[in-house]
Amino acid sequence: MMALLQTVTVPHPSTLDPRGPAAAREAALWWGMLAVATVIFILVLYLLLRPLFRRPLDGDTTPGEAMPHDVQRRWLVWAGAVMPAAVLFAVFIATLFTLAAVRMPPRAGDLTIEVIGHRWWWEVRYPGRGVVTADELHIPVGRPVRIRLSSDDVIHSFWVPQLAGKTDLIPGQSNDSWIQASQAGTYYGKCGEYCGRQHAHMSFAVVAQAPGDFDQWLMREAAGAPAAGDSGAVVGQKVFRDRGCAFCHAVRGTPYHGDVGPDLTHVASRRLLAGGSFDNTRGMLAGWIANPDVMKPGTLMPAVEMPGDELQALVDYLQTLK
């Protein structure tokens, strides 16, 4: 639990501080509706409070007659039905325009990223590029990127508040979304649909980079893992094999191809660990391997008993996977 006190280094994820065209249109619609709502709310408050602050007409409590019909019609039909209908019609038109702008899919040939939801982490694949990573999407700045969403277990929802609204990841079907960042930076992403015990710790980072940096990143990620060089890492790689890590985890460029947990080929270069639960530091990594259920109660990653020196060697090895 101590570990959870560590912070994950991504900025505030406000939907009202949009950094992409879709989120910007969505925020504009939201502000527009808020403005209309505020005006009508003030009108309603006036109609409600003004009579209440009037002095009583007389002390007489005998009931009065029903109001004449034209008064009733004025209030209920004109103010109660026609006025809201006009406002709602305007809201609907604004919705349609926003929808047309936001739903626009990227052009064919654009970059597509596959995101697969797992309890409770994100598998990220770049089809055709040989890149598989986790809890971190890299995208080129200023270009729309198609996100193909599916789930391995339960329903999740893909959400990067500053870039675009949510789209669900539903097992048995594939949904499309798209994101585009208008400036470089790291954006907070989160699972939006309750997905069980660790829904709270199912976040990810979206790293928007200049196109050149992005291409370099892709190239580096596509490569297999560097061979274990120094002696500590060689021992660590043995631990990785003998303690069963390889049953679940893959390290491309080695014989280990487990596909239950995240691909670890370049784990050392990632910002976050364990479904965005904490920063990827040596201490965190070691703690996570030794006591996953303490670090993230309910996690499906099993604790593997091993002596301290083996753990250190394993962490040495994983830290070489840059």
Partner 1 sequence: MSTIEAGPGVEERLKTSWEPPETLYFQLASVDHKKIGKRYLITAFIFLLVGGVEALLMRMQLSRPENTLLTPEQYDQLFTMHGVTMIFWYAAPILSGFGNYLVPLFIGSRDMAFPRLNAFSYWTFLLSGIVLYTGAVIGLAPDGGWFAYTPLTGPAFSPGLNLDFYAISLLFLTISTTAGAINFIVTIFKMRCPGMSMSRMPLALWSTLTMSFAVVFGMPPLTAALVFLELERRWNFHFFDPLSGSPLLWQHLFWIFGHPWVYVVILPATGLVSMMLPTFCRRPIVGHTYIVLATIATGMAGFGVWVHHMFATGIPVLSTTFFSAASLTVSIPSGIQIFGWLATIWHAKRHVWRTPFYFIVGFIVLFVIGGFSGVMTAAIPADWQETDTYFVVAHLHYVLIGINLFPVMAAFYYWLPKMTGRMLDERLGRWNFWVMFTGMNIAFFPMHVVGMLGMTRRIYTYPAHLGWTWLNQVETVGGFIFAAGVLIFVANYFISRKNGVHAGPDPWQASSLEWSVSSPPPAWNFSVIPAVASREPLWDGTDLLAGGGGDQRVLSHQKKTLGTSVLDAVPDSVLHMPEDTLYPLGLSIALTVLFYGLVFKSALVFAIGLLATFAAIVGWLWPKPGELPE
Q: Which residues between 184 and 213 bind partner 1 (CB under 8 A)? A: 188, 190-200
Options 62, 183, 229, 255; binder of partner 1; rule CB under 8 A? 62
CB atoms within 10 A of CB 307: 9
| 260 lines the binding site for partner 1 (CB under 8 A) | no
| 166 lines the binding site for partner 1 (CB under 8 A) | yes
Nearer to partner 1, 157 or 254 (CB): 157
- Alpha carbon separation from 215 to 109, 141, 187, 219, 262 (Å, rounded): 16, 11, 19, 6, 22
Stretch that binds partner 1, among 110-118, 136-144, 153-161, 247-255 (CB under 8 A): 153-161
Q: What are the tokens at 107? A: 């052009």
Smallest separation, CB 78 to partner 1 (Å) = 9
Residue 49: exposure state from Cβ atoms within 10 A (0-12, 13-18, ≥19): exposed
Options 72, 231, 281, 291; binder of partner 1; rule CB under 8 A? 72
Task: Quickly tell me which residue has 């703690």 as its tokens.
Answer: 287
Stretch that binds partner 1, among 73-81, 124-132, 135-143, 303-311 (CB under 8 A): 73-81
Smallest separation, CB 172 to partner 1 (Å) = 3
Q: What are the tokens at 83? A: 């006025």
- The strand pair at 112-118 and 145-151 is best described as parallel
CB atoms within 10 A of CB 26: 20
Helix (H, G, I), strand (E, B) or coil at 45: helix
| 51 lines the binding site for partner 1 (CB under 8 A) | yes
Smallest separation, CB 94 to partner 1 (Å) = 7
Residue 15: exposure state from Cβ atoms within 10 A (0-12, 13-18, ≥19): middle
Nearer to partner 1, 126 or 158 (CB): 158
Smallest separation, CB 270 to partner 1 (Å) = 17
Smallest separation, CB 136 to partner 1 (Å) = 17
- What is the rounded distance in angstroms from the CA atom of residue 227 to the CA atom of residue 317? 10
| 81 lines the binding site for partner 1 (CB under 8 A) | yes
Q: What are the tokens at 184? A: 């470089």
Nearest CA to 136 out of 267, 246, 319, 322 is that of: 267
| 109 lines the binding site for partner 1 (CB under 8 A) | no
| 294 lines the binding site for partner 1 (CB under 8 A) | no
Q: Kindly give, in sequence order, each residue whose CB lies less than 8 Å from that of residue 25, ignoring residues fewer than 6 positions away.
A: 98, 101, 102
* Cα first-last separation, the chain: 27
Nearer to partner 1, 173 or 216 (CB): 173
**Please, which of residues 111-140 interact with partner 1 by CB under 8 A?**
119
Options 35, 110, 127, 173; binder of partner 1; rule CB under 8 A? 173
Task: Quickly tell me which residue has 């502000």 as its tokens.
Answer: 31
Options 48, 108, 212, 308; binder of partner 1; rule CB under 8 A? 48
| 253 lines the binding site for partner 1 (CB under 8 A) | no
Tell me which amino acid residue 20 is.
G
Smallest separation, CB 130 to partner 1 (Å) = 28
- Alpha carbon separation from 166 to 110, 175, 244 (Å, rounded): 21, 11, 36
Stretch that binds partner 1, among 122-130, 163-171, 235-243, 282-290 (CB under 8 A): 163-171
Stretch that binds partner 1, among 45-53, 135-143, 217-225, 259-267 (CB under 8 A): 45-53
Smallest separation, CB 196 to partner 1 (Å) = 6
